[in-house]
Amino acid sequence: MANCSRTPSRRWVKADAERNRVHHRVADLRADGLRKLTTAVRAEYGTVVVEDLNVAGMLANRRLARKVADAGFGQIRRQLTYKGGWAGGVTVVADRWFPSSKTCSDCGAVKAKLPLHVRVFTCEQCRLVMDRDANAARNLAVVAAAVLTGTGVAGDQDAQASNPRGADRETRTTTRPRKRPGGRAGGATPHQRTEARDLRQAEAVTLR
């Protein structure tokens, strides 16, 4: 049986090394750009609003996958969060289902659909016409103000709660009760149950 493996030539090794060098250079430039961007944003603004996007779903779209992966949304959110903690800033996370782009920042009307290729927001109710991203930014600013004043949660301006994400709603219903010191979870210790029983018996004898 013939051996199909080949020893790479010097020219191939040199070209492969050059390609790897370029890839590492691009990765380093992208990481440096993200660090400088997040540092500049945190140095200028005390409160930053980020959206909880479905990045995994966006990566499944073959038309958006490469651009979304290159943008580094996860790194941007992570760096904004911990750099805000350093300076005592506030990071507000808007709910994933909050229609920031579909909502009119003037009258509050919500569109049923707004394709991604439509870059100008036009409201059929109040006739507002403005850039799609600028309209979404104004809606997110309202969400941040509601969270900071305690009048609502991120992405839900009518809710009267202080939780900015609402992500632990399901966790609270499925989490087991915490174990109390010196006893079983959610119950009294055997010594406490014995004392309660003796107290009830003493009260019964007294009533007789």
Number of helices (H), then strands (E), belonging to the chain: the values are 7, 4
The answer to whether 49 and 140 are in contact (CB under 8 A) is: yes
Scanning the structure block, which residue is given the tokens 């800033």? Answer: 89
- Are 54 and 101 within one domain? no
Q: What is the pLDDT of residues 30-76, one digit of tens each?
A: 999 999 999 999 999 999 999 998 888 888 888 888 888 888 888 99
What's the structural domain count of the chain? 2
Round to whole Å and give the CA distance between 179 and 181.
6
Structure tokens at 25: 């250079």
- Are 130 and 165 within one domain? yes
Determine the distance from the C-alpha atom of residue 83 to the mean position of all C-alpha atoms in its chain, rounded to a whole number. 15
Q: What is the pLDDT of residues 81-134, one digit of tens each?
A: 999 999 889 999 998 899 999 999 999 999 999 998 899 999 999 999 999 999
Structure tokens at 70: 């290159």
Amino acid identity for residue 24 in this structure: H
Give pTM, 2 decimals. 0.62
- Are 144 and 81 within one domain? no
Residue at which a domain ends, from 94, 123, 145:
94
